[in-house]
Chains A and B, each alone.
Chain A
């Protein structure tokens, strides 16, 4: 009959003790706030993007420079995701399972990209790879261009998306605990086998979520790649940089359409991840 008890418990949780008035005011407050702050702006973007009809949007998005911009965004994002999937997993592993001096400090550093302004990120890379940068004497003779070129933009996006994968995997690794891995080793499995057959399957979902969050963030990167990339039309212009330019040039339909598309894509990505996560938990 234990099912009865847990049902009772979950019903009990819902009971609130405040008067109905307070409840109504608080709910109303939240509904108003969320509608005005979040729902309404989204709605207005959609409405305004469609103000000349779907055809206008399609034709705006079919412009060659728009297509090029989106392609560049995708390219950079996919490279970044690939790098973080591998190295992010490794780093998470080392941080959770290994003990070495300075671990806590390093742990704190990982969160830094959350808080550092993207402009600062771009600037830092400029100092390293720009004309008078630290690595300039090494790279110039080799003809490798990092600043004001795609490689620089990849680096910038790598920096700002650093924490996502690691932060997703650390709790998963911690929860997993070492017991399963130890059990496997007592049953004769070597390091590789343990990793592939015991650890990796358990990390699978964490890695997937991490990839999706990294991707969503990378798609939307703006400030850093503006600084390090320069926004050179046709060469270092991503979707976000295109939108910036379009607004500047008062090509509103173009700007809104691209915003809509970019926003929609990221939105679906994150909400999709959320839904899968919630269903998987059940």
Chain B
């Protein structure tokens, strides 16, 4: 409900907002779709099933999936620890959670290469003892993604835990339940929705990540080249069809995921608390 008059009239404002959105969002999206579907769906399919492209897409998906799994568990634990426990350095950790949001992704990549790079002490040691390469290999991708998406799950779960009605837990205690039962049957259920939406957010964010990955992964085709990096290659070699096709797939995944998250968050609000 708008008060009887917006400044400059309702339509002018609507118009301005709409123009803003159209120019920055809708037109660019339309163009890509038109371009990628130039040779129809078959053409699109052909482009993305090229071995390099296909591998890049799969790599992107599974590294994002692994990262999401780790992030969800650790993010949930971190949120729980920050809300329910008191310990030295608690305030520090709470602030550190937000740090990844502040750091440019490129800088993230640089930091990780410095710390875990094969020439560095840590990196060399890991390679010798465990045979694992982190940098210039898929594990590095997962690591970079973990850094970047760390706040997503924590900050979504924290407020829900904070505002939880503790008397339900008190009631369970008087009814005889032990700590694990209480956690499983009373604390956890309200967290499922926020956890899921936090996980999906991390996943969506990870799919398109570029700045850190391009530094950390080494971008070796068929090994550590993600979809975004592959895309860059296609753009630079002016393969428009390939570039557009991959772009469409990435946009579709991103869009689908964001819609899902939005739906989940709306559902969460509807459950009577």
A contacts, CB < 8 Å to B: 12-14, 16-19, 22-23, 26-27, 29-31, 33-34, 37-42, 44-45, 48, 87, 90-91, 93-95, 97-98, 100, 106-128, 134, 155, 158-159, 162, 178, 181-182, 184-185, 190-192, 194-195, 216, 219-223, 226-227, 240, 243-244, 247, 255-256, 259, 262-263, 266-267, 269-271, 274
Contact = CB atoms under 8 A, between A and B. Distances in A.
A191 B2 CA distance: 10
B254 interface: yes
Interface string B109-150: 011101100001000000000000000000000010011001
Contacts, number: 267
Interface string B229-273: 101100100001001100100110011011101100000000000
B211 A117 contact: no
B95 interface: yes
Given A37-B146, A90-B20, A227-B232, A266 B210 contact: no
B115 A41 contact: yes
A42 B111 contact: yes
Contacts of B7: 191-192, 195
Contacts of A263: 102-104, 107, 111
Contact of B112 (A22, A41, A194): A41
A90 B29 CA distance: 22
B258 A114 contact: yes
A115 B257 contact: yes
Contacts of B13: 90, 93-94
A236 to B, nearest CB: 15
Nearest to B254: A115
Given A23-B85, A44-B115, A97-B1, A117 B231 contact: yes
A119 B114 contact: no
A44 B114 contact: yes
27 contacts: A12-B166, A23-B85, A38-B99, A38-B150, A90-B16, A91-B21, A107-B262, A110-B21, A111-B261, A114-B204, A114-B205, A116-B208, A116-B250, A119-B229, A119-B235, A120-B228, A120-B251, A128-B27, A182-B3, A184-B3, A222-B210, A227-B232, A240-B106, A240-B211, A266-B103, A267-B102, A271-B98
Nearest to B208: A117
A134 B232 CA distance: 20
Given A31-B93, A93-B13, A128 B28 contact: yes
Given A17-B182, A192-B7, A247-B215, A222 B106 contact: yes
A116 B247 CA distance: 9
A259 to B, nearest CB: 5
A30 B78 contact: yes
B250 A91 contact: no
B101 interface: yes
B95 A271 contact: yes
Given A127-B31, A158-B24, A219-B104, A255 B110 contact: yes
A269 B101 CA distance: 11
A262 B109 CA distance: 13
Contacts of B21: 91, 106, 109-110
Contacts of A93: 6, 13, 17
A247 B210 contact: no
B21 to A, nearest CB: 6
B228 A119 contact: yes
Contacts of B204: 114-115
B96 interface: yes
A124 B16 contact: no
Interface in B153-211: 166, 169, 173, 179, 182-183, 201, 204-205, 207-211
Contacts of A271: 95, 98-99, 102
A115 B210 contact: no
A124 B32 contact: yes
Contacts of B87: 27
A48 B119 CA distance: 13
A13 B96 contact: no
A119 B211 CA distance: 9
B17 A87 contact: yes
Contacts of A40: 115
B81 to A, nearest CB: 5
Nearest to B74: A33
A270 B101 contact: yes
Interface in B1-15: 1-7, 10, 13-14
B225 interface: no
B255 to A, nearest CB: 6
B223 interface: no
B78 A117 contact: no
B42 interface: no
Nearest to A113: B25
B72 interface: no
A29 B93 CA distance: 12
Contacts of A192: 7
Of the listed residues B166, B179, B214, B254, the one surrounded by the most CB atoms of chain A closer than 10 A to its CB is: B254
B258 to A, nearest CB: 5
